[in-house]
Structure 1
Amino acid sequence: MERQNLSDLVAFLAVAEERSFTKAAAKLGTSQSSLSHTVRRLEARLGVRLLARSTRSVSPTAAGEELIATLKPALQDIDAKIGAIGEQREKPAGLVRITTSRDAAQTVLLPALVGLMAEYPDIHVELDLDATLVDIVADRFDAGVRLGEQLANEMIAVRISPDLRQALVGSPEYFKRNGIPQTPQDLTAHRCINLRLPTRGGLYAWEFSRGGRDVNVRVEGPMVVNDSIVALDAAVRGIGLAFLMEEMAAPAIADGRLVRVLEDWCEPFAGYHLYYPSRRQPSLAFSLVVDALRHQG
C-alpha cells in the first residue's frame, strides 16, 4: 500500500468518527478544505461514495460503514504494535558481551553495572575475563576493556575509570629480612614475584616514573605467576615483592599485611577504557551500558 493511500484512509476514518469535517480537521491538524479534498480523492479512487454529506451533518454510506468495519480494527492493531515497540524502548533488553581483565571487572565494571541491571532487568551482560588483547570483532564481542595505551586502531574509546597507579608491596616480615629498596634499581637485589604477560608470554618489566623520568626494571625472584591475585597472595605470605594495581593492594596495605614502598616512583597513568568498533550501530541496551560505565571525573 502506498503511503498516500494509508493517509487517505486515516483521514476518512477521522471524518466518519467525528461526523464532521471541521472537527476531524482540527483533530488531524489540517484544514477543512484539504481534508475534504482527501476524502473526495479516496472516493474517486475506490469508485464509491463513502460519506453522505448534507449542510448540517456527515455520515457514512453503506460502503463507508463496510470500510470502517475493516479499517478501524486494522489501524488499532497498528497502533498497538507501535505502542509495544515504544514500550520495548522504554524497557530495553538484550545481551551485551564484553571482554575484560579480572581487575577491571572487579574494580570498575561490577560497581558501575549493578545499578543499571537493577533498573533494567532485561539487559544481560556477559563478562569474559581474558587478559589477552582479543579481536573483539572476530570473537563477536560488543566491546572490550583495556588500559588506555592498549587501545586498538579504528575504535571508539570511552574512558571508564580515573587514572591508575601501581603499588610496590611486600610483607613486613620480608622487609625485616631483606631491607627496604630506596630506588627502582635496588630491586635487582631483591626477591620479586614476576608476572608473565598473557599477550606475548614474556615477563613484565616493572615500570616506574618520577618527575618525567621513566625507569624499567627487569626483576628476578623465586616465583613467576600469570595472575595478579596470586601475586598478591604470594606477597602477603612473604615470598617476595609484588608490583600490583594500587586498588588491588589497598586492603592488604590498610590492614598491615603488606607495606608499600617507592610510592613516589609510582605516578598515575591512563586508566581503563571501553572500546568498540566505530562502524557499530549500538543497540539501546549497549548505549545504556556505555553510559553507566562512562567515567564522570
Structure 2
Amino acid sequence: MPRANANDLIAFITIARERSFTKAAVKLAVSQSALSHTLRALEERLGVQLLTRTTRNVTPTAAGERLLAVIGPRFDEIDAEIESLGELRDKPAGPVRLTATEHAAETVLLPAVARLLPDYPDINVEVVIDYGLTDIVTERFDAGVRDGEQIAKDMVAVRIGPDLRMAVVGSSSYFADRPAPRTPHDLAEHVCINLRLPTQGGLYAWEFEKGGRAVNVRVEGQLIFNSPPVMVKAALSGLGLAYVLEDQVGPHLRSGQLVRVLDDWCPPFPGYHLYYTSRRQPTPAFRVLLEALRYRGG
C-alpha cells in the first residue's frame, strides 16, 4: 500500500478512536483542516462514508466501525512490533502507559518505578489517575491497575500488592454524643459521607461481610464526594462517618484523631492487580515494569 494511503488510514483510526477531529489533530500533530481533507479524500476513494460528524461529536458509521475493527488491531500490532525492536538494545526503552486509582498509584506504582527507573533511563512511564473501569484497549493503555475483584475475566491479571481492607471511621468529636454502630444496619442512625461512583454515577453501597454473610448498606448524609482522600478530611472534621481503605487512615487511627468501628465486618479482599490484554504483545519496557511490580508476598 502506498505511504499516503497508510497515513490516511492512520488518520481515520485516530479520529474514530478519539471521537474528535480536534483531539486527533493534536495527537497526529497536524491541523484540523488538513485532517478533514485527508478523511474526505479517503471516503471519496473508498466510496463510503466512514464518520458521522455533528457539532458535538464524531462517531463511526457502520462502514467505519467495520473498517476500524479490521485495521485498528493490525496497526496496533505493527506499533507493538516496532516497539519490540527495543529488545535489540542493551536495555529496554520506550513508553509504558498505565491507568490506576490515586491510591494504587501512590502505594504500589510509585514505589516500584522509583526503584526501577534509575536503572532504565530510556523507559518512560505515564500514569493516568482514573477511578472508573477504563477500557484499556480502546483508550490505548498498556495496562490498568485495579483490585482483584474488579478485573474482567478475559484479561491477564498479575497480582502486584497485598490484600486490602476497608475501614469505617469517625472522629472522636463525632462519637462524643453518639453510640458506635454495632452492625452495618445501625448506620441508618448515623451521618455518613457518601462516595459517588465514576462509572455509573450512583452512590456506592458500603459492603460488609461477617461469618460468610454479605451485607450491602446504602447510607445517608449531607456530603458526597468522588475522591476518598477528601472523605477522610471530612471525617477528621467531624462531619460524618467515612468508609475508606484501612491504610488511608492508619496514622489518624494511631493518633486517636479517628475512631474505627465495625472492624469485625471488614474482612480482607484481593489487593491490586495489573491487568492487560493478551491480544497485544507486551513490549520489553512493559515486561521489565511488570516484573518490578509483581507481588511476591511478605
TM-score after normalising by structure 1: 0.69
> Which structure 2 residues correspond to residues 222-261 of structure 1 after superposition, within 5 A?
222-261=222-261
CA contact (8 A) 1:133 1:199 kept: yes
Aligned to 1:97: 97
Given the superposition, is the C-alpha separation of residues 90 and 254 from structure 1 closer, same or farther in structure 2, using an over 3 Å criterion?
Answer: farther
- Partners in 1 of 2:110 and 2:121 — Cα distance? 15
Letter in 1 for 2:268: P
Letter in 2 for 1:190: H
- Partners in 2 of 1:121 and 1:180 — Cα distance? 52
- Partners in 1 of 2:195 and 2:228 — Cα distance? 7
CA contact (8 A) 2:156 2:275 kept: yes
**Distance apart, 1:257 and its partner CA:** 1.4
Letter in 2 for 1:220: E
Paired positions, count: 213
Letter in 1 for 2:141: F
Aligned to 1:43: none
Q: CA RMSD in A?
A: 1.4
- Partners in 1 of 2:264 and 2:154 — Cα distance? 35
**Distance apart, 1:86 and its partner CA:** 8.7
- Partners in 1 of 2:140 and 2:294 — Cα distance? 22
Aligned to 2:169: 169
Letter in 1 for 2:179: G
Aligned to 1:294: 294
- Partners in 2 of 1:248 and 1:101 — Cα distance? 13
**Distance apart, 1:149 and its partner CA:** 1.5
CA contact (8 A) 1:89 1:284 kept: no
Q: Secondary structure at the match of 1:98?
A: strand
Aligned to 1:146: 146
Letter in 2 for 1:105: A
Aligned to 1:203: 203
Given the superposition, is the C-alpha separation of residues 187 and 135 from structure 1 closer, same or farther in structure 2, using an over 3 Å criterion?
Answer: same
Letter in 1 for 2:253: I
Aligned to 2:214: 214
Structure 1 residue 265 corresponds to structure 2 residue 269: no
Given the superposition, is the C-alpha separation of residues 156 and 87 from structure 1 closer, same or farther in structure 2, using an over 3 Å criterion?
Answer: closer
**Distance apart, 1:172 and its partner CA:** 0.5
**Distance apart, 1:146 and its partner CA:** 0.9
Q: Where do 5+ consecutive residues of structure 2 fail to align?
A: 1-84
Q: Secondary structure at the match of 1:274?
A: strand
Compare CA radii of gyration and give the structure with the larger one: 1
- Partners in 1 of 2:101 and 2:197 — Cα distance? 12
Q: Secondary structure at the match of 2:279?
A: coil
**Distance apart, 1:88 and its partner CA:** 5.5
TM-score after normalising by structure 2: 0.69
Q: Where do 5+ consecutive residues of structure 1 fail to align?
A: 1-84
Letter in 2 for 1:139: E
Following TM superposition, the consecutive aligned residue runs of length 4 or more in structure 1 with deviations greater than 2 angstroms are 85-90
CA contact (8 A) 2:86 2:92 kept: no
Structure 1 residue 156 corresponds to structure 2 residue 156: yes
Given the superposition, is the C-alpha separation of residues 122 and 198 from structure 1 closer, same or farther in structure 2, using an over 3 Å criterion?
Answer: same
Aligned to 1:276: 276
Letter in 2 for 1:224: I
Q: Secondary structure at the match of 2:89?
A: helix
- Partners in 1 of 2:163 and 2:115 — Cα distance? 23
- Partners in 1 of 2:214 and 2:223 — Cα distance? 25
Q: Secondary structure at the match of 1:90?
A: coil
Letter in 2 for 1:179: P
- Partners in 2 of 1:89 and 1:234 — Cα distance? 51
Q: Secondary structure at the match of 2:238?
A: coil
**Distance apart, 1:177 and its partner CA:** 2.2
CA contact (8 A) 1:195 1:224 kept: yes
Q: Secondary structure at the match of 1:207?
A: strand
